[in-house]
Amino acid sequence: MMNEEDDQQKSLSNEVWRMGADYRRSCEMFGHLSALLIYRYAAKAQKSAIQLLELSNADAELVPVLHSVAFEIAWTPLKQLDDLIDTLVDGGNNAYCAIHREVMRGFDKTLDDDYAYISFLLPSIHVCIKIPCSCGEGMLYGPECLLPMIGDAQDDRVVSEEPTGSIRPRFLYSRCHPRPELPFSGMLLHPLIISLYALIFDPKDAIEVFSNIDIETLFTQLAYIATLLVAAVKGERPAGERGETSSFPYSQFYLSLSLEYHTGSLEECAQFITYFGVEVGVRMRLMQEVDP
């Protein structure tokens, strides 16, 4: 009986951990998930969140936002977490705190694990801004290859988006250059980005991309991967949460990419998902052939 209970507890722990991981990857990379959870539980339990769980000053500053319409909208894609909190209201603070810790463990560890994974792959990555590759025997890999593409906006290997002036590394674009014939001019359609998506999100096949994802979620996920890739190239864990500093504006970079789909029409968004799904499907089949 104990083994069965232990298995159930382990299964629940894994499921809750995955909820935190999914939020990090697919909802908000630099979000305030802890505060969202605390206030949601407090609202459902009709208790004072600040007194209940001694929120930090950083979280307390979010009180006006978390009691607004935007707070309710934020929970729209988080039905699993919301339903879980419903089941914890009657269990009291201890039951809630145990689940809260597990969700945040998934949220925090996922960033570290994904960053470490991309950093591990980095030494084998080569990108050439000319197709076909013209590097010859002088091919560069990893940071030596990619770092120059993140540099100054005046560098011809970098695309500077107007009017914001946001720096967009060449390796985000199909063939390292904007391509008018592709949706959004080929943004986030470089084979490197698509391959990393297939490795990290591990969809079963192209059908899963077509049927189970919307353009907003897809761009959020791609922005997450692109931000991790830039961080790995620069050799620093991506900072963007309150109190963190870094040499690169990771949070701004991530946000601008995740909102890029707003620049396209409904037809372009549909074309993007179709093109992307086909490319992911090809990579999934290749990986299955290598590792049957």
Task: Kindly write down the DSSP assignment for every residue of 44-102, as one continuous string.
Answer: HHTS-HHHHH---HHHHTTHHHHTSHHHHHHTTT-HHHHHHHHHHGGGHHHHHHHHHHH
Is the model's pLDDT at 121 over the cut of 50?
yes
> Tell me, what's the pLDDT at 129?
75
Is the model's pLDDT at 224 over the cut of 90?
yes
User: Structure pTM?
Assistant: 0.82
Are both 163 and 240 inside the same structural domain? yes
> Tell me, what's the pLDDT at 95?
81
- Report the 10 Å Cβ neighbour count for 221: 20
Are both 156 and 256 inside the same structural domain? yes
Is the model's pLDDT at 119 over the cut of 60?
yes
Is the model's pLDDT at 241 over the cut of 90?
no
pLDDT digits (tens, 9 = 90+) for 64-81: 455 554 555 566 667 778
How confident is residue 55, by pLDDT bands cut at 50, 70 and 90?
A: very low
Q: How many domains does the chain have?
A: 2
Q: Is residue 119 part of a domain?
A: no
Q: Is residue 114 part of a domain?
A: no
Choosing from 84, 109, 134, the residue where a domain stops is 109
Contact 106, 19 (CB under 8 A): yes
pLDDT digits (tens, 9 = 90+) for 133-148: 777 777 888 888 888 7
Instruction: Give the residue numbers spanning the domain of 247.
Output: 125-290
Are both 206 and 254 inside the same structural domain? yes
Indicate the range of 49-53, 107-111, 186-190 predicted with least confidence: 49-53
Are both 156 and 83 inside the same structural domain? no
Is the model's pLDDT at 107 over the cut of 70?
yes
Identify the residue with better confidence: 161 or 79: 79
- Mean predicted confidence (pLDDT) in 44-60: 54
Are both 259 and 227 inside the same structural domain? yes
Q: Is residue 239 part of a domain?
A: yes
> Tell me, what's the pLDDT at 57?
45
Are both 80 and 196 inside the same structural domain? no
Q: Is residue 195 part of a domain?
A: yes
Measure the CA–CA gap between 220 and 28, rounded to whole angstroms: 7
Are both 170 and 46 inside the same structural domain? no
Are both 51 and 188 inside the same structural domain? no
CA atoms within 13 A on the CB side of 116: 6
135 residue type, one letter: C
Are both 132 and 212 inside the same structural domain? yes
Q: What are phi and psi of 133, to 5 degrees?
A: -60, 135
Q: Is residue 120 part of a domain?
A: no
Are both 8 and 75 inside the same structural domain? yes
Q: Is residue 231 part of a domain?
A: yes
Are both 59 and 185 inside the same structural domain? no
Q: Is residue 260 part of a domain?
A: yes
Alpha helices in the chain (DSSP H): 2-26, 33-45, 49-53, 57-60, 63-66, 69-74, 79-88, 92-121, 142-146, 191-201, 206-211, 215-234, 250-258, 266-290
How confident is residue 152, by pLDDT bands cut at 50, 70 and 90?
A: very low
Are both 68 and 197 inside the same structural domain? no
> Tell me, what's the pLDDT at 135?
76
